[in-house]
Structure 1
Amino acid sequence: MTYGYHQGRPEHYPLEPDLHGTRHWFVTSEATGEDRADALAALAGLAHLEVWCVDKYMAHAGAGATHALPSAVARWFDDESDLLWALEHAMCRAAIGLRIYALGTQPFIRSIRQLADRCAIAPEAVRVAHSGGALSRV
């Protein structure tokens, strides 16, 4: 498990690959460049890795923007709502063995967990790490 609770607030730890998975989706929004690079380095050796990222500049740069992970499939989105919409549809059709690695703000992580729950993806198949703003919606 990549999270725990301290004084009622969730704590997140660095993302680590789950080698039992057969497909791996790294999903990120509003993460710092350093945290994103660290997570990608940790996941780089996984087969069948897809990157789902909110980055309006990369969305318009095309497939050539994924030079850091040439074997990974990359999906770039202009905004978080577009990513979450596409991700929900893909999650609900996903096969057993999918592992999701989410990196971003608390609200983004919460949204990913809710999507996974709605699509009947086991909580242990979703690993999260916090990056970006520390504010949480109340």
Structure 2
Amino acid sequence: MLHSDIKSRPTYRALEPDLAAAGHLLVVETATLQPGGLANLADTFAPVAAKLHTWLVGEAQAVPGLGKPWQLPAVADVVDALACATRGYGIGDRLYVQGTEPFLWSVATAAAIVGFGPGQIQLCHAGSLQRRVWCTHCHGFTEQVTTNVVPCAGCGRHLLVRDHFSRRLGAFMGVMVDAEAPGEIPAIEEVFA
């Protein structure tokens, strides 16, 4: 589990089905699974298996207990599927998402657009600690960041990757690292592998 003293930093917990919910949608980034991970999720969601829909994102996998999972190649397909969902999601439905932080927040943002409230969504971090970074200068995003300083994919500035997280953007803030002393860039370290 990730921990930070920064108040904006999300905290995550293991997924746990809400037994009182009307419907359940489980979305899993399969590349982040440990061996036996889907079997563990099947055990966890066994009490609600009859009302469970599962979307597996990435390499196709089949696991007894998760019904017939819907296979999606990438997170963009999840976002599209949520946006095009033919049935409306009500207050009684729950969404459970497991994967890397950029994956979690891409799905959570799309779910909010179709009507899921914060209390209806559970997020469980798994896999790499890589980050999505939002540049406070050009407002562009840099994906799959694993270092403390990264060149912005939009404007090219060297950004210090802060621990401040924006739930609205689903990204960490990046600020120009050498704004006060041009050219003075600290050592770049791998910190979010």
Q: TM-score range by the shorter chain?
A: 0.7 to 0.9
**1:82 is aligned with what amino acid?**
D
1:131 to 123, 126, 131: 126
Q: Following TM superposition, by how much is the alpha carbon of 1:22 offset from its aligned partner in structure 2, in angstroms?
A: 0.7
The equivalent residue for 1:6 is: 4
Query: Separation in 2 of the partners of 1:118 and 1:100?
Result: 13
Name the stretch that deviates more: 116-125 or 31-40: 31-40
The equivalent residue for 1:49 is: 52
Which one has the bigger helix percentage? Answer: 1
1:69 to 62, 65, 69: 65
Query: Separation in 1 of the partners of 2:14 and 2:43?
Result: 11
Q: Following TM superposition, by how much is the alpha carbon of 1:5 offset from its aligned partner in structure 2, in angstroms?
A: 6.2
Question: Cα deviations across residues 24-46 of structure 1 (Å, max 9, x unaligned)?
Answer: 01001132134443333211220
Q: 1:69 to 1:108 in 2, by over 3 A?
A: same
Q: Report the TM-score when normalising by structure 2.
A: 0.58
CA RMSD after TM alignment:
2.4
The answer to whether the Cα contact below 8 Å between 2:75 and 2:107 also exists between their aligned partners in 1 is no
Identity %: 27
Larger RCO (CA within 8 A; separation ≥ 6):
1
2:97 to 93, 97, 102: 102
For structure 1, the 5+ residue unaligned runs are 59-64
**1:69 is aligned with what amino acid?**
G
For structure 2, the 5+ residue unaligned runs are 134-193
Q: Report the TM-score when normalising by structure 1.
A: 0.78
Q: 1:39 to 1:57 in 2, by over 3 A?
A: closer
Q: Following TM superposition, by how much is the alpha carbon of 1:105 offset from its aligned partner in structure 2, in angstroms?
A: 0.5
The answer to whether the Cα contact below 8 Å between 1:91 and 1:116 also exists between their aligned partners in 2 is no
Query: Separation in 2 of the partners of 1:129 and 1:13?
Result: 5
**2:21 is aligned with what amino acid?**
G
